[in-house]
């Protein structure tokens, strides 16, 4: 029965027209976000910002789940309703980031490995009791001169698979996030090579460590040009390269792929997802798990002021609606001009 539940949750997270809001910024990252709008990062302000996002009217229309951070999953609305309960009341599934961040990898200059496996079994049980239904772990793979090393790819794939197996054991759906960074001047072809090698290693480890593909989701980067590459691939090229890459290594048993935005602009992340879905049905649902690309307009509209809560919520609802349209290839750039409250 538990197995059926995990598969049902995984499929609900990639339901048609819906995707995931990543609101799992660490304390350091959320401080940078708030500083960008001249707001001090106090626990009170972080709570107020997350409450604005999570209580957006109609949030569940296009958002299937929200990834929370350790601080956030323990917080409540100003009316005393736990955030997990508030989300569930809107038809949104609560989840939790469980890794402890990327740290320098010994013997591999310029590369990292994600930590957090020690004590993870116990933490997973606590998060489940707090209301989480799914989990997320991010590994970071950098492209550069001589990078990534096979060593870096292997240790990160191994950690991702251990996380996934432990999550499924705890009755939680793991979202496996191997992110090949778009920082640098590499071409889309180089991104393809590294992404393919990374995903191949990840699924080899998942298989070896007995993670069940039907009870997980993949959160990867798109196959895309590096930020500083002189020639930037457009949505159609990104879509074709990404789908071709994934067909070579991602098992059809995986219910869905929820892309990270990875530094793309709001519009770029939506357009690229739309172009992929416009190619027609694929073995997996192609959805989104965006953080900044969903939150940025909302953060800017809110600016830390209670009087701007509705404006912030309207901005989030608008971006969620556009990404929901991209889920079936129905997004057009003209939709960007429609007022958020429409």
Give mean pLDDT, residues 267-274.
98
Q: Exactly one of 177, 179, 205, 285 is catalytic; which is it?
A: 177
pLDDT tens column, 153-188: 999 999 999 999 999 999 999 999 999 999 999 999
Q: Is the pLDDT of residue 324 over 50?
A: yes
pLDDT of residue 67: 98
Q: Is residue 167 part of a domain?
A: yes
Question: Is the alpha carbon torsion for 279, 280, 281, 286 positive or negative?
Answer: positive
CA atoms within 13 A on the CB side of 168: 22
Domain that holds residue 103: 2-337
Active site residue 205: no
97 included as an active-site residue: no
Answer whether 140's CB lies under 8 Å from 102's CB.
yes
Tell me the residue length of the chain: 342
Mean pLDDT confidence for 78-99: 98
Q: Is residue 267 domain-resident? A: yes
Task: Note the pLDDT of residue 1.
Answer: 38
Total domain count, the chain? 1
Q: What is the pLDDT of residues 103-162, one digit of tens each?
A: 999 999 999 999 999 999 999 999 999 999 999 999 999 999 999 999 999 999 999 999
How many whole angstroms separate alpha carbon 26 and alpha carbon 68?
10
Residue 164 lies in a domain: yes
Q: What pLDDT score does 92 carry?
A: 98
Q: What percentage of the chain carries pLDDT values higher than 70?
A: 98
Question: How far lies 8's CA from each of 14, 90, 107, 137, 220, in Å?
Answer: 10, 18, 41, 20, 21
pLDDT for 219 beyond 60: yes
Residue 207 belongs to some domain of the structure: yes
Q: Could you tell me if residue 342 is inside a domain?
A: no
Q: How far is it, in rounded angstroms, from Cα 244 to Cα 323? A: 22
Query: Looking at residue 4, what is its pLDDT?
Result: 72
In 3D space, the residue among 287, 217, 291 whose CA is nearest the CA of residue 259 turns out to be 287
Contact 164, 157 (CB under 8 A): no
Tell me how far CA of residue 118 lies from CA of 139, 277, 283, in angstroms. Answer: 16, 39, 35
Query: Contact, 114 vs 101, CB < 8 A?
Result: yes
> What residues form DSSP beta bridges with 289?
20
Q: With bands split at pLDDT 50, 70 and 90, how would you rate the model's confidence at 96?
A: very high
Q: What CATH number should be reported for the domain holding residue 306?
A: 3.20.20.70
What is the DSSP secondary-structure string of 26-63? -HHHHHHHHHTTT----HHHHHHHHHHHHT-TTGGGTE
**Active-site option among 18, 136, 219, 285:** 219
- Which residues are bridge partners to 140 per DSSP? 179
pTM as predicted: 0.97
Output phi, psi for 136, to 5 deg.
-145, 140
Instruction: Tell me, yes or no, whether 223 lies in a domain.
Output: yes
Average pLDDT over residues 49-70: 98
Helices (H), 14-149: 27-35, 43-54, 70-73, 83-89, 120-129
Which pLDDT score is estimated for 341?
45
Average pLDDT along the chain: 97
Report helix, strand or coil for 212.
coil
pLDDT of residue 339: 57
Which tokens sit at 252? 């059809």
């Amino acid at each position: 029965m538990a197995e059926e539940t995990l598969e049902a949750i995984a499929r609900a997270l990639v339901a048609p027209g819906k995707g995931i809001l990543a609101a799992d910024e660490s304390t350091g990252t959320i401080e940078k976000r708030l500083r960008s709008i001249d707001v001090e990062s106090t626990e009170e302000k972080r709570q107020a910002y997350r409450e604005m996002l999570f209580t957006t009217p109609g949030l569940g229309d296009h958002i299937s789940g929200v990834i929370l951070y350790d601080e956030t999953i323990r917080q409540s609305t100003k009316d005393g309703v736990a955030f997990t309960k508030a989300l569930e009341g809107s038809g949104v599934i609560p989840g939790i980031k469980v890794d402890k961040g990327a740290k320098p990898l010994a013997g591999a200059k310029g590369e990292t490995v994600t930590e957090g496996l020690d004590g993870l079994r116990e933490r997973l049980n606590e998060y489940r009791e707090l209301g989480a239904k799914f989990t997320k772990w991010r590994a970071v793979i950098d492209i550069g001169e001589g990078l990534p090393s096979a060593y870096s790819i292997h240790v990160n794939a191994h950690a991702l698979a251990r996380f996934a197996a432990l999550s499924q054991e705890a009755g939680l759906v793991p979202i496996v996030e191997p992110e090949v960074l778009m920082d640098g001047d590499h071409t889309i072809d180089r991104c393809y090579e590294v992404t393919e090698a990374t995903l191949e290693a990840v699924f080899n480890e998942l298989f070896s460590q007995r993670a069940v593909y039907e009870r997980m989701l993949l959160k990867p980067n798109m196959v895309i040009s590096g930020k500083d590459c002189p020639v930037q691939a457009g949505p159609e090229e990104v879509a074709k390269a990404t789908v071709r890459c994934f067909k070579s290594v991602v098992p059809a048993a995986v219910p869905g792929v929820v892309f990270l935005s990875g530094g793309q602009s709001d519009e770029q992340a939506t357009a690229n997802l739309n172009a992929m879905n416009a190619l027609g049905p694929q073995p997996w649902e192609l959805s989104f798990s965006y953080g900044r690309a969903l939150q940025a307009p909302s953060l800017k509209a809110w600016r830390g002021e209670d009087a701007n809560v509705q404006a912030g919520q309207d901005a989030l609802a608008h971006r969620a609606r556009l990404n929901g349209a991209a889920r079936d290839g129905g997004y057009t750039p003209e939709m960007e001009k429609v007022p958020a409250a429409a």
